[in-house]
Structure 1
Amino acid sequence: MDVNGIIISDLLRPSVLKSSTLSALLRILSLSSLLVSQKSDTPLFYSYLALLAWVPLPLGSNKAWAISLLSSITFALLAWWLVLYTQRKLSLSKSFSNSWLVIALLLCAPLWALMQFQLDITIDPANTLQDALFGFALAGLFTLTTLLVKSKRRIKLLCFTLVGSGLFQAVYGSMMTLTGIEYLFFVPKEHYLNLTTGTFVNRNHLAGYLELTLAVGIGLMISTLDGSSAANWRDFFRRLLTTLLGNKARLRIILVMMVAGLVMSHSRMGNSAFFASLSIAGVLALILSRRSTKATIILISSLIIIDLFVVGTFFGVEQVVQRLEKTSDSSETRDEVNTYTLGAIEDNLLTGSGAGSYYTLFPAYREYDAGRGFYNHAHNDYFEFASDYGVVVTGCLMLAVLLVFISAIRAQIKRKNTLMRGLAFSATMAIIALAIHSTVDFNLQIPANAATFVIILALGQISLHHKSRER
């Protein structure tokens, strides 16, 4: 008997039966191992998400106890993953396998900090040891993200966790400002009164956190766009109602609320970096992606126009503009601080003065024209890293970020999946935003912002190397 060109009597031959049975068994074992893998690390994945939601709450984790807690939990999660891996319940993801160079470059900083401590190079051993611990934790967060975020569902859960955290910071900070009842994390607010800071002490650090989480939210929004044209008027109105009442509308409202919180912080470079990075990343996306559509152009244009002119009008963008107009060399001391920091870099060009030692080092170099304030950080991340770690290690960290940026650019060119292109856009925008903001501030010295940035870097790698196993 012939069925679809196959003779059943041939299928019943021992050799054919043995081969087909073996193939079926291999498929069943492969599927069952995948299901076991997904179930085995589910509690681990949700613990990882809970950690990300917690990190910005205790003053951006910018306290010794909060840094120690963040690092300890990260190491515990890594140990948990290793136990499951040794039990053969998990396997290495492709994103992790293709990110070994980025991880190695990220590990250069904590390894060198340990060397500074051991060789007695540092002038502040306690802070150097703490920075080494935190550096390993950041590399661990990058590693965990590439290992755990291995399905589209998990990618979306991670992105919505970051966006939800950013939304909370924007709403909480705005309510504190509007009501006049100003608290941080169960602590009365002492600085930046009448300005939105969320649970961060400094408004610029809230702005940096919102830049990163807004980049993730905009990437999610881009991943939902439908590039095909409407077939008829009925299809057009159906899409319009879906946009107004569906998930897209809710996400768009969330983004508007986050932008309002960013504007209410009155952070000059925070707002400038956000809109500049959105514009640059948008232009790059339109140039690089052969699948860019009118919907992408409309979304990016609406984000800039509506958020800048409508949201800004109600929530104080004119005050940000006034602060920018009043900014001058005579009213700012950051340029003097940078000049004196360059002197510190020249004296410790290769070795650095020790991770986390800027607080101790800078008083020996400052002059009277740097103002009366005490600087525990340089208002320039590039200069502070170079001063603390030396130019070689700083170059390694910058190379790691550059490699991820290249991966995100490649993903926008090569990937067909809309979610992967959205992730690539998020990574591109976040890198540009923080690259701009870091020239006048120290967001990467704030644990919550550094941890969130590292996770977005991991998402940039995932955007290029992730392969869906869903059948």
Structure 2
Amino acid sequence: MNSSTASHRSSVSDTPDTSLFYSFLVLLVWIPLPLGSNKPWAVSLLCFAVFTLAIIWLLLFIRQRINLTPTFLSSLPVAALLLCAPLWALLQVLLNITIDAATTLQDALLGCALVGLFCLTTLLVRSKRRIRLLCYALVGSGLFQAVYGSMMTLTGVEYLFFVEKEHYRGLATGTFVNRNHLAGYLELTLSVGIGMMISTLDGVRSVNWRDFFRRTLTTLLGNKARLRIILVMMVAGLVMTHSRMGNSAFFSSLAIAGVLALILSRRSTKATIILISSLIIIDIFVVGTFFGVDKVVERLENTSENSETRDEVNTYTLQAIQDNLFTGSGAGTYYTNFPAYRKYDVGSIFYDHAHNDYFEFASDYGVVVTGCLLLAVLLVFISAIRAQIKRRNPLMRGLAFSATMAIIALAIHSTVDFNLQIPANAATFVVILALGQISLHLKSRGHRSRGP
């Protein structure tokens, strides 16, 4: 009987795409390590890995060993909208309407890889176990980045990915070059972690105050305390970046997503309120006291029009957008195009990116394709909102919260930075978009798949 049970477990775990799924997780953890994959060789490796996984999945599908998932089929409109960007980039090269064909072609390949990541997530993450494994992989990656960045700062021995830091010394950057991009990555992974924390709440209303406090203490100090401690460490890493908008976007998105969750949920409990409140209060006043939230506040207070040139950069970028309103200057060509529009009042700094993702996409791709990308994100946001209204499964509700919070956080941060131009952050974001679709469309029953 024991051998029969072992044989059954072996057959259950050995599904055709199990190795493919674990390879997918390894890839997601790898992407942030080589400087956020923001180097040509790292981008090439990322594209090669994604295309290889996609080809293997297609071979399994052709051999009828795996099937299309309902989540993938329901997410085709989102995938089609995301695909508009790399397809248009290819057309920019073919029609010779880009000012740098080589860079535009590279961006087209990266765009295809990002859409491939979105599709692979909806195809491979087809069970609750796989959802948890993916979420814990992202949270674990975020934890590593936070701890690594913090330790480099606290010890004074500051290295990136086997390369000594040249910029932002004394500030947490993890394996990213720019502290704002570590902040953006932590915003995304913290959103996933908080969603997982919320999914552990039982949703049962307390019968009295004694029961309420018992449940609350169990949530904050029980077996779930490990995840809570991980979140505290990640927030400490975020605070130590001293990123103004990174911290502002995180706490704002947490508050907004928390209020939305309480409004939309018909099963909201006092435990949910306590959890969200503790995340804000404990992280700001306890973590911030030891890890420098006062430095972030000081930077916010000292921000002025005289000390910032981003407003001027945005003004000149708008002129560039108007000159190529519908076609764009070419994907990835901002650094080549912007010098023709900049003036002396932006200083001597070389801007390889606009400090505004919306403006940079519009400048590179044109307003139509940028609108398609925004619509794709909006569709996922609506799916996450609908999931919080309709789904009763705690895991799906937590997943929907993660997607909602991540979208709000990056929507805010993108107004003053270029996180979506960094491959690691863009890749993580499209995976979370896929999780938003999964939160609504993955069937709790009736579409069970074997294996992890």
TM-score exceeds 0.5:
yes
Question: What displacement does 1:226 show?
Answer: 1.9
Q: TM-score scaled to structure 2, two decimals?
A: 0.94
Matched with 1:279 is: 255
**Per-residue CA distance 1:158-217 (angstroms, 9 max, x = gap):** 000000000000000000000000000000000000000000000000000000000000
Question: What displacement does 1:227 show?
Answer: 2.3
Contact kept, 8 Å, 2:215 with 2:271, in 1: the verdict is no
Task: Give distance in 2, aligned partners of 1:349 and 1:237.
Answer: 57
Contact kept, 8 Å, 2:201 with 2:219, in 1: the verdict is no
- Tell me whether 1:101 sits opposite 2:87 in the alignment: no
Contact kept, 8 Å, 2:354 with 2:360, in 1: the verdict is yes
Task: Give distance in 1, aligned partners of 2:225 and 2:358.
Answer: 39
Question: What displacement does 1:37 show?
Answer: 9.8
Between stretches 242-251 and 265-274, larger displacement belongs to 242-251
- Tell me whether 1:450 sits opposite 2:426 in the alignment: yes
- Tell me whether 1:88 sits opposite 2:74 in the alignment: no
Task: Give distance in 2, aligned partners of 1:234 and 1:288.
Answer: 27
Task: Give distance in 1, aligned partners of 2:208 and 2:176.
Answer: 50
Task: Give distance in 1, aligned partners of 2:68 and 2:310.
Answer: 45
Matched with 1:187 is: 163
* SS, match of residue 434 in structure 1: helix
Letter in 1 for 2:423: P
Moved over 6 A (4+): 35-38, 231-238
Task: Give distance in 2, aligned partners of 1:86 and 1:43.
Answer: 17
In the TM superposition, what are the counterparts of 1:12-411 in structure 2 within 5 Å? 39-229=15-205, 239=215, 242-243=218-219, 246-411=222-387
**Per-residue CA distance 1:312-345 (angstroms, 9 max, x = gap):** 0110000100000000111100000000000000
Task: Give distance in 2, aligned partners of 1:128 and 1:244.
Answer: 49
Question: What displacement does 1:36 show?
Answer: 7.4
Task: Give distance in 1, aligned partners of 2:318 and 2:264.
Answer: 37
Q: TM-score scaled to structure 1, two decimals?
A: 0.90
Contact kept, 8 Å, 1:358 with 1:377, in 2: the verdict is yes
Task: Give distance in 2, aligned partners of 1:348 and 1:470.
Answer: 49
Question: What displacement does 1:232 show?
Answer: 8.4
Contact kept, 8 Å, 1:256 with 1:311, in 2: the verdict is yes
Letter in 1 for 2:404: T
Matched with 1:421 is: 397
Letter in 1 for 2:291: F
Q: Report the structure number with the largest CA radius of gyration.
A: 1
Between stretches 224-233 and 327-336, larger displacement belongs to 224-233
Matched with 1:433 is: 409
Task: Give distance in 1, aligned partners of 2:229 and 2:371.
Answer: 39
Contact kept, 8 Å, 1:36 with 1:89, in 2: the verdict is no
Contact kept, 8 Å, 1:37 with 1:89, in 2: the verdict is no
Matched with 2:5 is: none
| Alignment CA distance shift 1:234-1:300 (3 Å) | closer
Question: What displacement does 1:236 show?
Answer: 7.2
Task: Give distance in 2, aligned partners of 1:378 and 1:42.
Answer: 41
Matched with 1:3 is: none
Contact kept, 8 Å, 2:202 with 2:394, in 1: the verdict is no
**Per-residue CA distance 1:367-426 (angstroms, 9 max, x = gap):** 000111000000000000000000000000000000000000000000000000000000
* SS, match of residue 247 in structure 1: coil
Task: Give distance in 1, aligned partners of 2:149 and 2:304.
Answer: 28
* SS, match of residue 40 in structure 1: coil
Contact kept, 8 Å, 2:327 with 2:366, in 1: the verdict is yes
- What's the % identity of the aligned pairs? 79
Letter in 2 for 1:411: A
- Please list every run of 5 or more consecutive structure 1 residues that lacks an aligned counterpart in the other structure: 1-31
| Alignment CA distance shift 1:38-1:147 (3 Å) | farther
Question: What displacement does 1:246 show?
Answer: 4.2
| Alignment CA distance shift 1:239-1:297 (3 Å) | closer
**Per-residue CA distance 1:241-285 (angstroms, 9 max, x = gap):** 754664310000000000000000000000000000000000000
Contact kept, 8 Å, 1:227 with 1:294, in 2: the verdict is no
Query: What is the root-mean-square deviation of aligned Cα atoms in Å?
Result: 1.7
